[in-house]
Structure 1
Amino acid sequence: MRVTADRNVCIGAGLCALTAPGVFDQDDDNGLVKVLDTDPDAADAAAVREAADICPSGAVAFTE
């Protein structure tokens, strides 16, 4: 799995960081998404999928 996030689209809702905290965080300055792990292991895959599904701006994406 490969994880990406478009900071130009992100609105800083933080749902990704709450859903998959080992993969996502928020920037301290502006609250925008930060990808901590672009290649998470299988244990985080379900959380990454959920984070992408619930992201209100569509900023979070992944490829299998």
Structure 2
Amino acid sequence: MSSVMFLLAKYPGKQELLRQEIDQLIAPSETLSYKALQKSFPFLDGCINEALRLFPAVPRTKSE
């Protein structure tokens, strides 16, 4: 999660795109709940996948 936050802070334009996606899928009157989070968030999924690609949970080792 810290990698996602780091990358979103580094690229504020992408942070804005993510905010727009969330605003479109969750109505202002709707409370943030598990049911609300069951919707599809393709840009958020992409952000998480990219962060995992750039900063994998398991460190890479050099193979010789």
Counting helix residues as a fraction of each chain, which structure ranks higher? 2
More strand by share: 1
TM-score, L = length of structure 2:
0.30
- Find the structure with the greater CA-based Rg: 2
TM-score by length of 1: 0.30
